[in-house]
């Protein structure tokens, strides 16, 4: 995947409604999803290098998902890719204050929201895994403790690959700001997680500068 090809990988996600829950806070809520586009695969190392001129990954391989990237890295990537494609930047970044504003009317690339991510992962199904785990995900049981090229496992019914397993994926949202401050959500499970960690409902969070070798991202557009 390269910059010229990126439009071919963007999948149209239809409008809908999703009921979400947070087991830690014992809460449940309903989210309305507007139509948007989501990349069919996580951002690859080759695309990240083409856009940012950097190769941060612990497991270097052009076709594997980029990892060891922070939430801020993902935000900067989205803005830079938008620039290169002649689109409006989706984020206003104040690096000195580590503050980001989402410009919701912009047509450029962005991170999916937490609700958009789960809605897209489920793809109309009630099950928290959209198929047999070995068919759809690289996880603890089959990954040999490494990432794998994107798109090798079976997609969900929306045509999205690697939503579960391979690498966790940053989302836009903060998680419980009153308790965790600037912490951001990431989703999906990674190559080192057990099957029970690779669920459409599973949600983790960390500081937006956090980096680790099983955490990447995929891009969206409004």
**CATH number reported for the structural domain that contains residue 9 in this entry:** 3.90.1580.10
> What φ, ψ does residue 18 adopt, rounded to 5°?
-135, 140
Q: What is the pLDDT of residue 23?
A: 82
DSSP label at residue 4: G
Residue 222's alpha-carbon distances to 10, 72, 90, 194, 197, in angstroms, are: 11, 20, 9, 33, 29
* Domain with 45 in it: 3-221
Q: What is the pLDDT of residue 97?
A: 61
Domain count, the chain: 1
pTM score, whole prediction: 0.96
Q: What is the pLDDT along the chain (222 residues), one digit of tens a residue?
A: 899 999 999 999 999 999 998 888 888 999 999 999 999 999 999 999 999 999 999 999 999 999 999 999 999 999 999 999 999 999 999 876 678 999 999 999 999 999 999 999 999 999 999 999 999 999 999 999 999 999 999 999 999 999 999 999 999 999 988 888 899 999 999 999 999 999 999 999 999 999 999 999 999 999
> What φ, ψ does residue 205 adopt, rounded to 5°?
-150, 155
């Amino acid at each position: 995947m390269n910059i010229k090809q990126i439009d071919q990988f963007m999948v149209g996600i239809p409008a809908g409604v999703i009921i979400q829950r947070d087991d830690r806070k014992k809460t449940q809520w309903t989210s309305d999803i507007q139509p948007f586009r989501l990349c069919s695969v996580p951002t690859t190392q080759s695309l990240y290098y083409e856009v940012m001129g950097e190769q941060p990954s612990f497991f270097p391989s052009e076709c594997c998902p980029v990892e060891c990237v922070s939430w801020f890295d993902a935000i900067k990537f989205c803005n830079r890719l938008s620039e290169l494609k002649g689109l409006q930047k989706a984020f206003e970044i104040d690096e000195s204050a580590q503050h980001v504003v989402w410009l919701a009317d912009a047509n450029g690339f962005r991170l999916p929201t937490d609700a958009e991510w789960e809605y897209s992962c489920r793809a109309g199904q009630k099950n928290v895994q959209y198929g047999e785990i070995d068919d759809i995900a690289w996880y603890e049981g089959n990954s040999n403790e490494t990432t794998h090229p994107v798109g090798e496992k079976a997609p969900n019914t929306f045509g999205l690959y690697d939503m579960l397993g391979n690498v966790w994926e940053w989302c836009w949202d903060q998680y419980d700001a009153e308790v965790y401050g600037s912490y951001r959500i990431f989703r999906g499970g990674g190559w080192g997680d057990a099957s029970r960690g690779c669920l459409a409902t599973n949600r983790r969070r960390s500081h937006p500068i956090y980096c680790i070798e099983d955490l990447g991202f995929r891009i969206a557009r409004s």
